[in-house]
A and B are shown apart, each in its own frame.
Chain A
Amino acid sequence: MALHAEDRRSALARIVFGALGLIAAGLAGLVGLVASPKTSTPSRQWRRAVSIFDLPPGQPMAAVLVDRTQDGWYATSKQQVVFIDREGQGYKALSATCQHLGCRVHFDVAKQQYLCPCHGGVYDRQGRVLAGPPPRPLQTLRVRVNENTSDIEVEL
């Protein structure tokens, strides 16, 4: 009789803890689902940078590309600066983002170099590192010329 009661007791205890465990697990699962971040890599697309007629001779031209992005419920725009340059018969596009820590480089016409104002990174006109801390050359972006509009387009 006493043993019977003891069995019943421990069985009930197990049920209670099992049920509490289920509730906790369900809630943890829900919160886990909700809280886990959603990240996605935006698909690349061709964006108009400059018209070939606007490109000055003898130096690259900075083009500011504005991207509308959806940041959660918040619509915002992201600016990206690219340098468009002639290269042989064609064109070349370099991202203006320094490969060291992400500052924006500018082109020094006299020196014919890209200079980073943050930690003194120096790149040549092809984007190769000449001095300073940058670990790799400026990122080269794919370019194409839209025959209909005579616009230089960059893939971002």
Chain B
Amino acid sequence: MVNNEANIDLLFRNGLRDLEVLPPADAWNNILPVIRRKQRPVILLRSAAVAAVLLSISFLAYKWSREFSLTPVNPFSAYENAVQPVDNPLSGRAARQLPFIVNDLTDQRTVIKNAEKKAITVSASEEVIPQHAVEYLEVPDNSMIPENIGIPVLASASTGLRYRTAAIDAGFAKPAEIIYEIPAEKKDRWSLYAGASPDYYMRPGLKNNEVPDQIYRSEQSRISYSGGIGFAYKINRKLSIQSGVYYASIGNEVPGINSFAGFRPFDQTKGDHNFEVVTASGRIYTNNSDVFLRDISADRVLTRYTNDVFDPVKSELSYLSNSLYQNFSYLEMPFILRYKIIDKSIDFNIIGGVAYNFLVSNNVHTVIDGNRYDIGKTEGLNPILVSSSMGMGIEYSITDKFSLNLEPTFRYYLNPFGDVPGVKIHPYSFGVFSGLSFKF
């Protein structure tokens, strides 16, 4: 009888193995439009998301730049003290100097005096001081800057108009040359920084993949963190590149798995592990022979000690918890480009790049009365993850050398955490990195 049953099974299995039947001709025509329709929203959604991020960043950047530009600060005030040093012996004479424009055709000089918006013509015979002498720019707003303050500029900065100094007082035609030092641009190209960030991980759902999706949905991301040190190199005023080494710890909760302690006396097997737990990131293998695991609602726990073989309650094992916690630790090496869009006392940057994450440790534990109880490890994790990141950076200079950084960053993992058939999760995370940087 058994043989006959097996024969029937084999007959159908072998007989139908290579069977091919041409489907109806219109079947493909019904499939294609659906694929097209389903592909389009994904592309549209992604495009919309990227556009939204870019628009938000642009809007924020615009808003910030407006706020800074509307701040009523005299842009020349920094020079006022430099131009009028207390002990400048020429300050009294300089007060009587006014700028004028030389007309190359008529050789007439027009003195610009903003206070009254009048042009005073001076005769061509007036002696003109040579180039490289002190030159003055038109003062734009008389109400803010006293009339007698001159603004020195480099000769090369003039555009079309030739600014020269004229002496109204004929007795003072040729003032002594004064050279003012314009502060050189800082050359702090390198910076070191240290900081940390809490990260919140999110994972997209799995469509049309029932069993893995159930496993996946039953799990919950936990607040994770990352921190480390790095360095940045300023390629030019706007652009810098940064790298470093971070330590990132990612947590995941697998609820619905009851754990018990005290199983060691009952463990009669020689295997290296007694329990396996199927999770979306990989398969947990217990390495603690004292632990007993049981799935409350599904069949995620694979073991020889099934419910009909062993009852932890009857055997008076100590109940620990109903959740397992997976922890994955990575060493992260980012390569980030940073573009400065606002260069003020609070800088505003756009940052983006990739990071290589090397798995350095992983463990699974449960918690009983605030204490960790080790369960085992997750197998099947990808040893190297590549993530892309995009964010905004706000940098506040505390001193010339030190500044505070705040970087809200969105990160997307380009490869999945683990090699679980049917479950390829590309998680994404959001974190706010804050830290301190030192320029040198």
Whether A associates with B in a native complex is: no
Residues of A within 8 A of B (CB): none
